[in-house]
Amino acid sequence: MQNIFDLEVTNNLIKRINTLEPTTKALWGKMSVDQMLAHCNVTYEMVFDDILSSINKCNTNI
């Protein structure tokens, strides 16, 4: 499995994402490009929402 924290792997993933177009066909699965990108972002949104919620809770206790 590739490590997304490796700079070369990260750059390759970014390059692949940047080549996607709305008409890009899935190689497997049934999601469209926009559905796939939204799906991949859910985890990050959950993490950042948790972090921001924690920060906001700390700031309201000041």
pLDDT digit string, tens, across residues 14-56: 999 999 999 998 888 999 999 998 888 888 787 777 666 766 6
Reply yes or no on whether the pLDDT at 11 is more than 90.
Answer: yes
Q: With 60 as the cut, is the pLDDT of residue 59 above it? A: yes
Cα separation of 46 and 55, whole Å? 14
Q: Which domain holds residue 60?
A: 32-62
Domain count, the chain: 1
Residue 36 in any domain: the answer is yes
What is the pTM for the complete model shown?
Answer: 0.59
Residue 56 lies in a domain: yes
